[in-house]
Structure 1
Amino acid sequence: MPYCTVEEVRGMIKADALNMIIGDEYIEDETEREARIIPIIEEAIKDADGEIDGYLVKRYSVPLSPTPKVINKFSKDIAVYNLFSRAGIDEGEKEKNFLNRYKAAVKFLENVAKGVVDIGITDNTKKANTGFSANSNTRLFSRDSMKGM
């Protein structure tokens, strides 16, 4: 289950930016433009959710269900960044906002992975992977049992 919807991400993108995201060709027909952007948004959401899961898997079973509001927010921010980064983000322009939101999302997710920030999930069964364990058979020989042989 995705952490955000196509409609939520589409709502964050102004209509005049769609052609830039889709590619070099200008699509005048609004219906065709909307039809072409949907699979691109879906892919951006999958990429965003994969990135989020990569951070969260250290502490939680993923994918999260239900989705905490903060994860929904960052999923949208990362997906929009993914869309705009297809054409390149101009850090001197209004697009820098997308980069800043992406960086904030990554910083938050890093802090979740480190255990500095808690996302409020208490009934999740996965615990942090802090080491390893090994099981083996009972020891057959020791230094004492091998003396004199």
Structure 2
Amino acid sequence: MPYATLQDMIDRFGERELGQIAQGVALEVIDADRVERALADASAEIDGYVGTRYPLPLAPVPALLTRAACDVARYRLYDDAAPEEVRRRYEDVARMLRHIAEGTVSLGERPGTPTVPQVVQMVERSGNAVFRRRTDGGLR
């Protein structure tokens, strides 16, 4: 499930820029299929990080991940010609996703999902001791 839509991309970056980096059959006309593929790839990349800490799919989609998906898709649409600002934003998103995977950044409270791994310790008690004290104070 994509974390962002074509309209999210247009709202953030404008039709003109998208028309230039995802050009369709006419000049500055957006190739919607190309943008959708970039958004699907961005969502898969995000899932690779987020899925280590949260059950997928996420519903509702956190706004933080919508922004992240747009930045990743934009970077991918530029191919090898991404301007410095676009590259920096992508690197910021990648860093944030690593922090989410490590648990140092949270997506907020997710219903039914612990944000901190829970550890359960079980101790079994029996009447028979595994070690016994020797008369000289040592264990046998």
Q: Same fold (TM over 0.5)?
A: yes
* RCO higher in structure (CA 8 A, sep ≥6): 1
The correspondence of residues 7-26 of structure 1 with structure 2, limited to 5 A, is 7-11=7-11, 12-15=13-16, 18-22=19-23
| Alignment match, 1:104 | 92
Q: Taking structure 1 as reference, are residues 16 and 113 closer, same or farther at Cα in structure 2, changes over 3 Å only?
A: closer
Q: Where does structure 1 lack aligned partners over 5 or more consecutive residues?
A: 131-149
The correspondence of residues 26-65 of structure 1 with structure 2, limited to 5 A, is 27-28=26-27, 33-34=29-30, 37-65=31-59
The CA deviation at 1:69 is 1.0
Which of 76, 81, 88 does residue 89 from structure 1 map onto?
81
Q: Distance in 1 between matches of 2:42 and 2:78?
A: 13
Larger Rg: 2
Aligned residues: 117
Aligned residues with identical type, % of pairs: 28
The CA deviation at 1:124 is 4.1
| Alignment match, 2:105 | 117
Q: Distance in 1 between matches of 2:52 and 2:17?
A: 39
Q: What whole-Å deviation, never above 9, does each CA across 1:89-128 have from its counterpart, x for those lacking one?
A: 25xxxx2111111000000000010111111033144778
Q: What whole-Å deviation, never above 9, does each CA across 1:6-58 have from its counterpart, x for those lacking one?
A: 111133145266245338xx824x6xx23xx1000000000000000000111
Counterpart of 1:67 in structure 2: which amino acid?
V
User: What RMSD, in angstroms, separates the aligned Cα atoms of the two structures?
Assistant: 2.6
User: CA contact under 8 A between 1:19 and 1:27: conserved in structure 2?
Assistant: no
